[in-house]
Amino acid sequence: MNPLLQLKEVNTHIHDFHILEGISIQVPREGVTVLLGRNGAGKTTTLRTILGFHPPSSGEIRFDGELINGWPPFRIGSLGIGYVPEDRGIFGGLTVYENLKVAARDGVREMERRLEKVFELFPDLKRATRQQAGTLSGGQQQMLALARILVSKNRLLLIDEPSSGLAPIIVDRVAEAISELKKELPILLVEQNYNMAKQIGDNYYIIDQGRCVHEGHMQDLEKEPELKQRYLGVSV
Amino acid sequence: MFDTLFFNLLLNGLAHGMLIFLIASGLSLIFGLMRVVNFTHGSFFMFGAYVGRSIYLATDSFVLAILGGLLFGFVCGGLVERIAIRPFFGNRVQLLLLTLGMMLVMNELVKIIWGPTILRFPRPDYLIGSFMLGDIILPYYRMFIVGFGLVVLVIVYLFLNKTRLGITIRAGVENPEMVQSFGINIKQVFTFTFALGVSLASVGGAISGPFLSVYPEIAMDNILVAIIAVVVGGIGSFGGSVAGSLLIGLINSFGGFYLPQAAMAFNVVLMALVLLVRPQGLFGRGGVTGGR
Amino acid sequence: MDAKKILQFLQSNIWIIILVGGMILYPFVSYHPYWLSLLITIFIFAAFALSYDLLLGFTGLISFGHALFFGLGAYSIAIFSRFTELSFGSMFILLAVAATVIALIKTAFAMRVRGIYFAMITLALAQFFWVLVMTLSRYTGGEDGMPRVPRPDFLGDRLTYYFFALGFLLLVYFISRRFINSPTGRVLIGIRENEERMVMLGYNVFKYKLFSLTLAGIIGSFSGAIYVMFINIAFPALLNIQSTIDVLMMTIVGGVGTLHGPIFGAALVRLLSHFLSSHFRQWIIIFGIIYILIVVFMPLGIFGGIPGLSKWLEKRGGWLKWIAQKLKP
C-alpha cells in the first residue's frame, strides 16, 4: 500500500527563516489526511512546498514514487495536484464559467463533460455561470474553488483552511462538498477548526513549529484530550 | 457647433487616440501580468515606423509594411523577453532600469541606422485624399487609422475573452500563482504576452508613419503619453486602456487646438486627478497601494 | 581636542581627505580653465545626484521627476534676478521655501500612491513644470531659455567658483551623512526596508518622508541654481525627462544608498560622456550599453559592488587583504 504522496525529512527555508524542520508525511491513495496545528506552525508552508512555490532545502517529496523536489509549480500542477488556497484563489474579474475554463487542464470538451456532475454537486454555480466571480459570496467562492478541481482529472487535492472566514452553516455545506469530493480523489487538508477536521478527516498529522509531533487515525484523536489541548488549543 | 472644425478635431483625436491605444494596451497588459514597466514599448513603436517605412519603400506594398511591422515587433519582443526580461524576473527595480537602458540604446540605434532627421512616410495612393460628408472634410488616412484601431481592438477583445489563452492571461493578471497550479506554464504565457503587446506597439508605429512622420523622438513622446493613458485607464485593464487612450487623444486634439502649448499639461493634470481620486484608474482593480 | 580622537577621525576618513585634498590642490598644480569648468559641473551634478540618492537609496522613494527641483532652482534664480532686485541670499531663501512647498506636495502624493505609481506622478509633475515654462515663454524665454543669469560679484572668477562648488558639494555631503546617521535617518532606512512595520511601530511616516523630500529638494534646487549661475543661462531641457534619466544613471552607476557612490557616478558619467563624445560620434549608445552592463552585472553600482570586491580581495590574502581593509566603508 504505497502512499500517493510522500514527504521525507523535508526542510524549507524562507528568507533565512527555517520554517519546516524535517517534515515526514504520507498521504494514502484515498481518504482525507488532515494537517492540524496552531497558526504559524508551518501547515500552509508544507502545502506550498509540495506545490513547488517554496523549493525544499533538503529532504524528498515523492508523488507516486517520482521525486518532485525543485520542480516548477506548473509542472507539479500538471501532474494532477489540485490546490485550493486559504483565500480561495478565485479570479474575481473573470466569470464563473471563465474560472472553470482556466482550470480545464484536460481541455474544454472534457470540462463540459464533467460539468453536469459538478453542477449537481454545486447547484448555486449553475445559476451563476455568467456572474463575475468576485461578486460571489464567500461560500460560493469556496464552491467554485472546489468545482475547478473537478473539471479535470486530478489525482490529489490540497486544501488550505476551507472553513476560514465562513459562517458555521456554510462550513457545514463545505464539509458536505468535501465529503463528496473524497469519493473522487484523496485529499490533504489543512485545518485549524478541529470540529470540521473531525467530521471529514480520516488520518491526521499534528504540526508544531515546523515539525510533525504526532500522527494517527482521526477517531483515535478524540480519545487524547491532552494532545488536543497542547497542540490545538482545544479544550474538552 | 458641429461643423467641419469639430469633426476634424474629433477625427484627429480619435486617430491619435487609436495610436496611443495600440501602445497603451500592450503596456497595460504587460504591466498587469508581469509587473514589468516596459520602457522599450515606445522604442518598438518607433522601430515599427522605421521598419514599416523601409518595407513600404522597398516593396511598394503598404500591406506588407503593416505585416512587417507586426511581425518585427512580435519576434523581437519575444526575443527581448527571453533574453533580457525572464532572467531578471522578480527583481522589479532592476528590470525597470534595464528596460530604461534598452530604450536609450534602441533610440540611439535608430539614429545610427537611419540618421537623426525626420523622414517622410508617404501614404499609399488609395488612402490619399478625403471623404466628403456634406460640408465636412474627412481625410481617408485618419479614418483608416481609426478603422484599423477598431479592428485590432475587436480582435484583441475576442482573444482575451473567447480563447483559453486570452482568459488565462486575464487570470494571470490577477493571480499568476493560481494559474500555475492549473498546470499552465506561466513563463511561456509571459513571453507570448510580451511579444503580443510589443507587436501591437510596432504595428501602431507602422501605421502612424504617414500620419505623424518618422523620427527618433516619437519613442519618448509616445511612451510618456501611453503611460499616462494606462494609469488613467487602469493597469491591466484592456477596456481601461481603450478608454484612457481615446480620452487622451481627444483631450490632446481639442485642448491642443484651443491652447496649443498646454496640451501636455492637460494629460498630466488628468493623470494627477485620476491618481488622487481613483488611484487604480478608471477601470483598474486595485494594487496601487502595495500588494502585487 | 584629544590627539587620539583626531588621529581616529583622520584614519576612518582617509580616502575622503586624500580626495578632497587632491581637489583642493589641483588648480594649483595644473591650471587649465577647461578642466576646471568640467570639474565644477561635476561637483554640482554630484550634489544633485547625492540628493537623488537620499530619496532612492535611503528612503526608497522612486522619483522620475527630480529634474523638477533642478529646474526650479535654475529658473528661480533666472527669474528673480531678471524681474526683482533681491539679493542672492534672499533668492536662495525663497528658493528653499519653494522647494519645501513642492516637497510637501510630492509627499502628499507619496502617501496616496506607492512605488511605480508615485514615480509616474513625479514624472507628470516635472512635465507639468516643463509645460509651464514653455507656455509662459514671455517670462521664461520658452525654448530659448533665459540668458545672462548673473552671479554674485565675489564669485566672478572661475577659480573662486571652483572652490565654491567644491565647498557646496562637501557641505551637502556632510549634511547628508549626518542626516542619515541621525535617528531620523535611521527611521528613513526603516521606512525603505518595510514601511508597514514602521507605521505599525507608530512612526509618522508622512513627517519622515517630508524631511527626506525637503532635504533632497533643497539640495537639488540649490544645485540647479548654482549650475545656471555658472553657465549663465537657464533653459527648459534642465526640466525634462532626460535630465532625470541622467541623474538616475549617475546614482545607479555609482551605487545607490551609499551617498559617496553617486558622487563618483556623476564624475564617471560626465567624464565618460566627455571622453566618448570626443572620440566616437555615437557615444550615447556606447554609454547606454555600459549602463545596461552595470545594471545587469553590478546592480548595486560600482561602489555598491565594492563589498563583493573586498571579499574577493580578502580571500587572496597578503597585501590584497590590506587594500580590502582600506576599502571598507
CA proximity to A99, closest of A48, A147, A135:
A147
Q: How far apart are the CA of B242 and the nearest CA of chain C, in angstroms? A: 19
* Sequence spans of domains, chain A: 89-153
Q: What angle do CA C36, C39, C45 make, to 5 degrees?
A: 145
Contacts of A160 in chain B (CB under 8 A): none
pLDDT over 50 at B287, yes or no = no
In this structure, chain B runs to a length of 292
pLDDT at B286 over 70: no
Alpha carbons A168 and A10: distance in angstroms, whole number: 35
User: Contact A155/A4 with Cβ under 8 angstroms?
Assistant: yes
Say yes or no for a CB contact (<8 Å) between C291 and B101. Answer: yes
Q: Rounded mean pLDDT of chain B?
A: 88
Indicate the residue of B98, B227, B279 with minimum beta-carbon distance to C292. B98
Shortest CA distance from B263: residue in chain C: C131
Minimal C-alpha gap between B282 and chain A (Å): 15
What confidence tier does B192 reach under pLDDT thresholds 50, 70, 90? very high
| Per-residue buried b or exposed e for B218-238, using 16+ beta carbons within 10 Å of the residue's own CB | bbbebbbbbbbbbbbbbbbbb
Q: A-chain residues within 8 Å CB-CB of B182?
A: 77, 102-103, 105, 148
Chains A and C touch, using 3 or more CB pairs below 8 Å: no
The mean pLDDT of A92-116, rounded to a whole number, is 91
Predicted confidence band of residue A236 (pLDDT cuts 50, 70, 90): very low
CB contact under 8 A, C292 and B105: yes
Containing H/E element for C216?
helix C205-231
Give the whole-angstrom CA distance, residue B15 versus residue B145: 6
| CB pair distance less than 8 Å for A77 and B183 | yes
Contact check, Cβ <8 Å, B181/A51: yes
Angle at B193 between CA B189 and CA B194, to 5 degrees: 120
**Smallest Cα distance from C204 to chain B, Å:** 17
- CB within 8 Å of chain B, chain C residues 46-85: 62
A115-119, B47-51, B88-92, C142-146: range with lowest mean pLDDT: B88-92
For residue C127, list chain B residues with Cβ-Cβ distance below 8 A: 224, 264, 268
Q: Which three cell numbers stand for residue C316?
A: 587572496
Asked if B220 lies within 8 A of C241 by C-beta distance, the reply is yes
Residues of B in contact with A94 (CB under 8 A): 167, 170-171, 174
Residues of B with Cβ-Cβ distance to C283 under 8 angstroms:
none
pLDDT of amino acid A214 = 86
B264 in C contact zone (CB under 8 Å)? yes
Whether the per-residue pLDDT at B227 is higher than 90: the answer is no
| B-interface mutation test, from A79, A91, A152, most B Cβ less than 10 A away | A91
Partner-chain contact B182 A103, CB within 8 Å: yes
Please check whether residue A203 touches B, CB under 8 A: no
Neighbours of B273 (CB within 10 A): 11
Tell me the three state secondary structure of residue C105: helix
Beta carbons of B94 and C112 less than 8 Å apart: no
Q: B-contacting residues of C 95-124, CB under 8 Å?
A: 109, 112-117, 120-121, 123-124
Residue, of B157 and C150, whose pLDDT is higher: B157
| Contact (CB, 8 A) for C91 and C121 | no
pLDDT at residue A42 is higher than 90: no
Burial code of A14-43, b = ≥16 C-beta within 10 A, e = fewer? eeeeebbeebebbbeeeebbbbbbeeebbb
Cα angle, residue C150 at apex, residues C146 and C151 outer, rounded to 5°:
140
Cβ distance of C125 and B272 shorter than 8 Å: yes
Is-contact B249 B270, C-beta < 8 A?
no
* pLDDT tens digit sequence for B242-285: 999 999 999 888 888 877 767 777 787 788 788 778 777 777 76
Task: Say yes or no for a CB contact (<8 Å) between B183 and A93.
Answer: no
In this prediction, residue B14 carries a pLDDT of 93
Contact call for C121 and B98, based on CB within 8 A = no
Which range among A2-6, B226-230, C218-222 has the greatest average pLDDT? Answer: C218-222
- pLDDT score, position C296: 81
CB-count burial class (<10 Å; 0-12, 13-18, 19+) for B38: buried
Q: Do residue B94 and residue C295 have CB atoms under 8 angstroms apart?
A: yes
Residue pair B244/B281 in contact by the 8 Å Cβ criterion:
yes
Tell me whether C300 touches chain B (CB under 8 Å). no
> Length of chain A, please?
236
Q: Given an 8 Å threshold on Cβ–Cβ distance, is B182 in contact with A105? A: yes
- Long-range contacts from B271-275, C-beta under 8 angstroms, 24+ separation: B271/B228, B271/B231, B271/B232, B271/C120, B271/C121, B271/C124, B272/C121, B272/C124, B272/C125, B272/C128, B274/B231, B274/B232, B275/B231, B275/C109, B275/C112, B275/C113, B275/C117, B275/C120, B275/C121
Instruction: Output the CA–CA distances (angstroms, integers) from residue C277 to C269, C271, C284, C285, in the order listed.
Output: 12, 10, 8, 11
Cα separation values, C324 from A24, C20, C262, C315, C316, Å: 46, 21, 21, 10, 10
| Cα B178 off chain centre by | 29
pLDDT at C315: 53
Name every chain C residue with its beta carbon within 8 A of the beta carbon of B37: 116
Q: Minimal CA–CA distance to C65: which of C80, C53, C52? A: C52
Q: Give me A121's grid cell.
A: 454537486
- The pLDDT, as a whole number, for residue B189 is 94
* pLDDT value, residue B292: 38
Positive or negative CA dihedral for C45, C47, C52, C58? positive
Q: Do B271 and C120 touch (CB under 8 A)?
A: yes
d(C-alpha B93, C-alpha B36), whole Å: 9
| All three cell numbers of A19 | 520554517
Asked if the Cβ–Cβ distance from B100 to C248 is below 8 Å, we say yes
Which residues of C67-132 form beta strands (DSSP E)?
none
Contact C285 B105 (CB under 8 A): yes
Average pLDDT rounded to a whole number, residues B136-159: 92
Chains that touch B (3 or more CB pairs under 8 A): A, C
Say which amino acid occupies C164: F
Query: Rounded mean pLDDT of B42-48?
Result: 95
| C contacts of B98 (beta carbons < 8 Å) | 292, 295-296
Stronger pLDDT, C6 or A36, i.e. the higher one: A36
- From residue B43, alpha-carbon distances to B105, B160, B216, C37, C187 in Å are 9, 25, 9, 35, 40
**Structure confidence at residue A218 (pLDDT):** 85
Residues in A closer than 8 angstroms to B168, CB to CB, are 102
pLDDT band of B117, cuts 50, 70, 90: very high
3-state secondary structure of C258: coil
Given an 8 Å threshold on Cβ–Cβ distance, is A53 in contact with B177?
yes
Helices and strands in chain C, H and E counts: 17, 2
Q: Is A234 on the interface with B (CB under 8 A)?
A: no
**pTM (two decimals):** 0.85
CA angle C188, C251, C221 (to 5 degrees): 75
Q: Do B112 and C124 touch (CB under 8 A)?
A: no
Tell whether A112 lies on the interface with B, counting CB pairs under 8 A: no
Q: Which residues of chain B does C131 touch, with a Cβ-Cβ cutoff of 8 Å?
A: 261-262, 264-265, 268
Tens digits of residue pLDDT in A179-211:
988 888 999 999 888 888 888 889 999 888 888
pLDDT of residue C141: 82
Q: What percent of chain B has pLDDT over 90?
A: 52
H and E: helices and strands count for chain A: 10, 10
Chain A's closest residue to B188, CA to CA, is A74
Contact residues on chain B for A105, CB-CB shorter than 8 A = 182-184
Helix (H, G, I), strand (E, B) or coil at A201: coil
The partner residue sitting opposite B108, judged by closest CB among C116, C121, C282, is C282
pLDDT of amino acid C191: 83
Report the candidate in C13, C19, C50, C66 with the shortest Cα–Cα distance to residue C263. C50
What's the rounded Cα separation, in Å, for the pair A133 and A103?
A: 14
On whether any CB of chain B is under 8 Å from the CB of C296, the answer is yes
Ranges under pLDDT 50 in chain C: 306-308, 329
* Number of other residues whose CB lies within 10 A of the CB of residue A155: 16
Q: Quick check: C112 and B276 CB within 8 A?
A: yes
Q: How far apart are CA B44 and CA B206, in angstroms?
A: 10
- C299 to chain B: which residues are within 8 Å by CB? 91, 94
Contacts of residue C304, defined as CB under 8 A and 6 or more positions apart, other chains included, come to C255, C256, C257, C258, C261, C298
Query: What is the interface pTM, i.e. ipTM, of the complex?
Result: 0.89
B174–A93 C-beta distance less than 8 A: yes
Shortest distance between the Cα of A202 and any Cα of chain B, in A, equals 25
Indicate yes or no: CB of B275 within 8 angstroms of CB of C109: yes
Euclidean distance between CA atoms C79 and C64, whole angstroms: 25
Considering only the beta carbons, identify the residue of A75, A77, A98 that sits closest to B167: A98
d(CA B80, CA B88): 12
Nearest-angstrom CA–CA distance, C30 and B98: 39
State what percent of residues in chain A have pLDDT above 70: 98
DSSP A116-185: HHHHHH-HHHHHTTTSBGGGS-HHHHHHHHHHHHHTS--SEEEEE-TTTT--HHHHHHHHHHHHHHTTTS
A46 close to A20: Cβ distance less than 8 angstroms:
yes
Note every long-range contact of C163-166, with CB atoms under 8 Å and residues 24 or more positions apart, other chains counting: C163/C24, C164/C226, C165/C39, C165/C40, C165/C43, C165/C44, C165/C226, C165/C230, C166/C20, C166/C23, C166/C24, C166/C43
Chains touching chain A through at least 3 C-beta pairs below 8 angstroms are B
pLDDT of residue B280: 73
Strands (E), C121-232: 146-147
Cell digits for C17?
581627505
pLDDT band at B1 (very low <50, low <70, confident <90, very high): low
Q: Do β-strands A211-217 and C146-147 pair in parallel, antiparallel, or remain unpaired?
A: unpaired
| Confidence (pLDDT) at C29 | 79
B-C contacts (CB, under 8 Å): 94
Do B111 and C124 make contact, defined as CB atoms within 8 angstroms?
Answer: no
Nearest CA-CA distance, residue B181 and chain A, Å:
5
